Amino acid sequence: MTGYQEVVTDPSYRGQIVAMTAPQIGNYGTNTLDVESGTPHVRAFVIEELSTVPSNWRSEFSLSDFLARNGIPGIEGIDTRALTRHLRTRGALRAAVTTELDEAGAVAAARGAAYDGVDFVQEVTATKPYTWDADGTLSREWVQATAQPSEGEADATGNVFLPVAPARRRIVAYDFGMKKNILRLLRRHGFEVEVVPARTPAADVLARDPDGVFLSNGPGDPAALTYAHAAVREIVGRKPLFGICLGHQVLGLALGGSTFKLKFGHRGANQPVKDLRTGRIAITSQNHGYALDPDSLPAEVEVTHVNLNDGTVAGIAHRSLPVFSVQYHPEASPGPRDAEYFFAQFAKTVDETKARC
């Protein structure tokens, strides 16, 4: 029901058609603040019913206008809950949404689609290094206008923002298809972030002498990213590492593990994850079609979190080095926020490592 704009603009969905299961989508429109990247990345958007009159004081465009402006086809009138049940039985399927092909042509296009083994990261990664939000203006946290606006700064439309603390730690972030909210939260937790393209060699990263290295989310098959496995393997043990989603899988592969494709993946914002060290359970936001094989991980790598729906690996940590990752999205956007503490944990890990050096 919420989060459709974040889904559409999440680079992790590159190469995929997305179906929403809530019966009506588009109720609150879209706006330029709540995007997760500069452009939509879904191949097409499938819903049951489109809300034609968006109603929200922050709305700037209707969902239909937003998709049309960016050349993304959408289709409504689909029984998306029946479609979901079909996918859960058959697994993720190839498909096509088109206004240009007849039925036979559309079927042929769907059968010809490829996903496994394709490096979609190269379609979404940064083209050159850049520093994210040095002055903190892009990472300010939006709060409700009723939430003591005197503590923040209001813009012309009534959005109220809280100030961002000064950056105290320098990190390099590998961009495999990074959501903007990850960058926002890293900056809010005191990180100065230099973003580098996915193919950046480890030597280039280490030459920058960062306090830590972050591995982002992204689309596609992690096994196809052999250049990333090699780079991360060189960084392990030399800098603190934190990975999210695809970054988690890349880290696992770099440490000697292997991945496998899930039948229909983990999607959406209602995924329960258990921390095996504390017993605590968090409701998390997830978006991935592959998982680490726990039996492939070496002895020095501990499985720290598991998905309670199917028991798959949801988090790992090195037993002796400052290296950890999670399969889900602690930055969520739009939510839930149960796992946001991982950014503070990364900050603590970086500080403790700097104090020992």
pLDDT tens digits along 84-110: 999 999 999 999 999 999 999 999 999
Q: What pLDDT sits at residue 29?
A: 96
Residue for token pair 């095996």: 276
Q: Which residues, in sequence order, are bridge partners of residue 292?
A: 259
Give the chain's length: 357
The full set of domain ranges for the chain reads 4-111, 123-356
Which of these, 292, 172, 319, lies nearest to 232 by C-alpha position? 172
| Catalytic site residue from 245, 266, 288, 318 | 245
How do residues 31-47 score in pLDDT, each as one tens digit? 998 999 999 999 999 99
pLDDT surpasses 90 at 20: yes
Is 357 an active-site residue? no
Q: What pLDDT sits at residue 144?
A: 66
d(CA 208, CA 112): 43
Q: How confident is the model at residue 291 (pLDDT cuts 50, 70, 90)?
A: very high
Average pLDDT over residues 220-228: 97
pLDDT surpasses 60 at 190: yes
Q: What pLDDT sits at residue 151?
A: 60
Q: What pLDDT sits at residue 357?
A: 78
The tokens describing 107, both together, are 């079927």
Q: How confident is the model at residue 163 (pLDDT cuts 50, 70, 90)?
A: confident
pLDDT surpasses 60 at 23: yes
Q: What pLDDT sits at residue 90?
A: 96
For strand 44-46 and strand 17-19, is the pairing parallel, antiparallel, or unpaired?
parallel
The tokens describing 93, both together, are 């399927």
Is 331 an active-site residue? yes
Average pLDDT over residues 254-259: 98
What are the start-end ranges of the E strands in 98-145? 130-132, 141-143
pLDDT surpasses 80 at 145: no
Q: Which distant-in-sequence residues (6+ apart) come within 8 Å of 193 by Cβ? A: 131, 132, 133, 171, 172, 173, 183, 186, 187, 214
pLDDT surpasses 70 at 167: yes
Domain 4-111 falls under CATH 3.50.30.20? yes
Q: What pLDDT sits at residue 101?
A: 95
Q: In percent, how much of the chain has pLDDT > 90?
A: 87
Q: What pLDDT sits at residue 246?
A: 98
ω into 336 cis (within 30 of 0): yes
The tokens describing 125, both together, are 């990664």
Taking the CB of residue 82, how many other CB atoms lie within 10 A of it? 10
pTM: 0.95
Q: How confident is the model at residue 294 (pLDDT cuts 50, 70, 90)?
A: very high
pLDDT surpasses 70 at 152: no
d(CA 136, CA 165): 8
The tokens describing 258, both together, are 């292997």
pLDDT surpasses 60 at 226: yes
| Catalytic site residue from 6, 36, 48, 331 | 331
Q: What pLDDT sits at residue 56?
A: 92
Which of these, 278, 271, 312, 320, lies nearest to 295 by C-alpha position? 312
How do residues 3-16 score in pLDDT, each as one tens digit? 999 999 999 999 99
Helix, strand or coil for residue 100? coil
Specify the range with the lowest mean pLDDT, choosing from 152-161, 255-264, 312-321. 152-161
Helix, strand or coil for residue 80? helix
Pick the CATH number of 123-356 from 3.10.20.30, 3.30.1390.10, 3.30.420.310, 3.40.50.880: 3.40.50.880
More confident of the two residues 357 and 107: 107
